[in-house]
Amino acid sequence: MAKLAFLGLGVMGYPMAGHLQAAGHDVTVYNRTAAKAEAWVKEHGGSSAATPREAAAGAEFVMSCVGNDDDLRSVCTGESGAFAGMAAGSVFVDHTTVSAAVTRELCAAAASGEIAFVDAPISGGQAGAENGILSVMCGGDPDAFDRAEPIIGAYSRICRRIGDSGAGQMTKMCNQIAIAGLVQGLSEAMHFAEKAGLDGRAVIEVISQGAAGSWQMNNRYETMIDDHFEHGFAVDWMRKDLGICLDTADETGASLPVTALVDQFYKDVQKMGGGRWDTSSLLSRLRKAG
């Protein structure tokens, strides 16, 4: 078993760190709100630290799952950052969805201290984190990935290295691009069924068994029908991710017309007060429009 640190105890990080402790690892956690770290220790054991540097001291692997590019920089760099506490040969694994640019920036900063950096964004939502069945897409040095993969296995169903530094983040962008169009299509289908006077549950029961079926359909149609959007990944975070996708598309020359359109639809949901609603709330926008 390994000595680990986990930085960031949000809706994803809290259960992920718990799976590591349950697997027998020695886990030290850090969270910007110290009370959350104290609650985690009370529930799971392990220990907490006042700074990322203190949490990372002596750790073979340091995992992070924070909010955005700036949050990631803050826990990695500076006098109180994790890199300052990590020994040569240790591995930093970042599960945050951030830009590939900041990933490469921090990978280079870590390398100056002989620390390996693996970008490892996740998909599967809060339920996936709680049940330990996340999909993890990785970029970085092959040897560092091989060392980290068994650790990540405590909370993943699949963990795969896609390529060099930044490849994991690029793959997560593909994931979010696919989800954006899919959720809008599902929302339109359900809105159409409502307007046509059809039984939405019966419609989904039939079409989910054919080519239209998806994880989103199977797991969100009931709450969508009931106009209940308090599950899973929030609209505010989806817009952050889609912004990364669109900025990167500009840099690479990729054309993302549907993604750009759905991003604006999520902006409409935010204006409706739904920033903290889950991503399936695109249906609420259609209902409001009539």
Q: Where are the domains of the chain?
A: 3-164, 170-289
Q: What angle do CA 207, 213, 215 make, to 5 degrees?
A: 140
**Could you tell me the CATH superfamily of domain 3-164?**
NAD(P)-binding Rossmann-like Domain (3.40.50.720)
Which pLDDT tens digits describe the chain residue by residue (290 residues)? 899 999 999 999 999 999 999 999 999 999 999 999 999 999 999 999 999 999 999 999 999 999 999 999 999 999 999 999 999 999 999 999 999 999 999 999 999 999 999 999 999 988 899 999 999 999 999 999 999 999 999 999 999 999 999 999 999 999 999 999 999 999 999 999 999 999 999 999 999 999 999 999 999 999 999 999 987 789 999 999 999 999 999 999 999 999 999 999 999 999 999 999 999 999 999 999 87
Q: Nearest 5 degrees, angle CA 160-CA 255-CA 265?
A: 90
What lies within 8 Å, CB to CB, of 104 at 6+ separation is 165, 166
Tokens 């054919």, located at residue: 210
d(CA 282, CA 216): 12
Q: What is the pTM of this model?
A: 0.93
Radius of gyration of the chain measured on its C-alpha atoms: 20
pLDDT recorded at residue 155: 98
For residues 13, 18, 19 and 20, what is the CA-based torsion angle, rounded to 10 degrees?
90
- 3-class DSSP string for the chain: CCEEEEECCCCCHHHHHHHHHHCCCEEEEECCCHHHHHHHHHHHCCEECCCHHHHHCCCCEEEECCCCHHHHHHHHCCCCCHHHHCCCCCEEEECCCCCHHHHHHHHHHHHCCCCEEEECCEECHHHHHHHCCEEEEEECCHHHHHHHHHHHCCCEEEEEEEECCCHHHHHHHHHHHHHHHHHHHHHHHHHHHHHCCCCHHHHHHHHCCCCCCCHHHHHHHHHHHCCCCCCCCEHHHHHHHHHHHHHHHHHHCCCCHHHHHHHHHHHHHHHCCCCCCEHHHHHHHHHHHC
- Strands 122-123 and 134-139, by their bridges, are antiparallel
The yes-or-no answer on residue 172 being catalytic is: yes
- Chain center to CA of 64: 11
pLDDT value, residue 42: 98
For 170-289, CATH number out of 3.40.50.300, 1.10.1040.10, 2.40.340.10, 1.10.3720.10 equals 1.10.1040.10
The CA-CA-CA angle for residues 42, 61, 38, to 5°, reads 15
Per-residue pLDDT, 232: 73
Q: Are 78 and 49 in contact (CB under 8 A)?
A: no
Contact 9, 37 (CB under 8 A): yes
3-164 and 170-289 agree in CATH topology? no
257 phi/psi in degrees, rounded to 5: -65, -40
**Residue in 3, 172, 240, 288 annotated catalytic:** 172
Predicted local confidence at residue 233, as pLDDT? 85
The pLDDT of residue 1 = 86
Structure confidence at residue 158 (pLDDT): 98
Can you tell me the distance from the alpha carbon of 140 to that of 143, in angstroms, rounded to the nearest whole number? 9
Closest among 78, 13, 17 to 46, alpha carbons compared: 17
